Amino acid sequence: EVQLVESGGGLVQPGRSLRLSCAASGFNLVDYAMHWVRQAPGKGLEWVSGISWNSHTISYADSVKGRFTISRDNAKNSLYLQMNSLRAEDTGFYYCAKDTYAGIGLPGDSWGQGTLVTVSS
Amino acid sequence: QSVLTQPPSASGTPGQRVTISCSGSNSNIGSTTVTWYQHLPGTAPKLLVYSNNQRPSGVPDRFSGSKSGTSASLAISGLQSEDEADYYCAAWDDSLTHVVFGGGTKLTVL
């Protein structure tokens, strides 16, 4: 059974950093691109970042470019999101999602339950 | 303002057919495939349709997707109370070089 479990969320002050992790099981992480998608309170889904199977292709939403860094460790079956210079508008649930292909496409049929990030003083 | 435009709300009665639209441009829907997701806030989003009109295994055939030009649609037939959720379209945007989502449509089953 495919499972994606996010962790690392919490309450953080504006301007500080947080690192999210996503533990993958039930499939070979190396075979798929991965994504981070978030949802702010009362807002819709917003794609944040995606990374190809070999980390050679990485893409970010304009709203997080220069502040967030996506990475993966296929040997550890893990996906990460390093979030720096956090802002109040970064508050929300963060979901990791498996792509359908190895190259960056769209989030596919497997998503985690999400981890909540709250940016507030 | 989302790159893909969806109506904020839709509604129908049990058994009815409802259609949700998703409007984009030549740099996204017009040049690539569309995916649809169903989401209840606080839970994991669920893939409903990929590659414009393909359903993953386990998704009822009551859900169907279509695409024409720079617009796409999700149709839900035989509406059921458990279909009440938020629905999102998504596509890759060649100009922005990243994934774009629609703003979401809240479906209410009356």
Structure tokens at A18: 């947080």
Contacts of A35 (CB under 8 A, 6+ apart): A47, A48, A49, A50, A51, A96, A97, A98, A99, A104, A106, A107, B99
Q: Do A44 and B104 touch (CB under 8 A)?
A: yes
Residue B107 contacts residue B18 (beta carbons within 8 Å): yes
**Of A36, A44, A111, which is closest to residue B45 (Cα–Cα)?**
A111
Q: Give the model's pLDDT for residue A107.
A: 92
Measured distance CA(A36)–CA(B76) in Å, rounded = 27
Q: Do B92 and A105 touch (CB under 8 A)?
A: yes
Query: How far away is chain B from the Cα of A36, in angstroms, using its nearest Cα?
Result: 11
Round the average pLDDT of chain A to a whole number and report it: 96
Q: What is the pLDDT of residues B12-52, one digit of tens each?
A: 999 999 999 999 999 999 999 999 999 998 789 999 999 99
Q: Give the model's pLDDT for residue B32.
A: 95
Q: Do B50 and A37 touch (CB under 8 A)?
A: no
**3-state SS string over A28-94?**
CHHHCCEEEEEECCCCCEEEEEEECCCCCCEEECCCCCCCEEEEEEHHHCEEEEEECCCCHHHCEEE
Q: Give the model's pLDDT for residue A56.
A: 96
Measured distance CA(A23)–CA(B16) in Å, rounded = 40
3-state secondary structure of B82: helix
Q: Give the model's pLDDT for residue B76.
A: 98
* CB proximity A46 to B under 8 Å: yes
Measured distance CA(B110)–CA(B63) in Å, rounded = 18
Residue A70 contacts residue A36 (beta carbons within 8 Å): yes
**Of B67, B43, B46, which is closest to residue B56 (Cα–Cα)?**
B46
Q: Do B97 and A39 touch (CB under 8 A)?
A: no
Nearest CB to B35 within list A59, A61, A106: A106
**Residues of A with CB below 8 A from B38's CB?**
none
Q: What is the pLDDT of residues A4-53, one digit of tens each?
A: 999 999 999 999 999 999 999 999 999 999 999 999 999 999 999 999 99
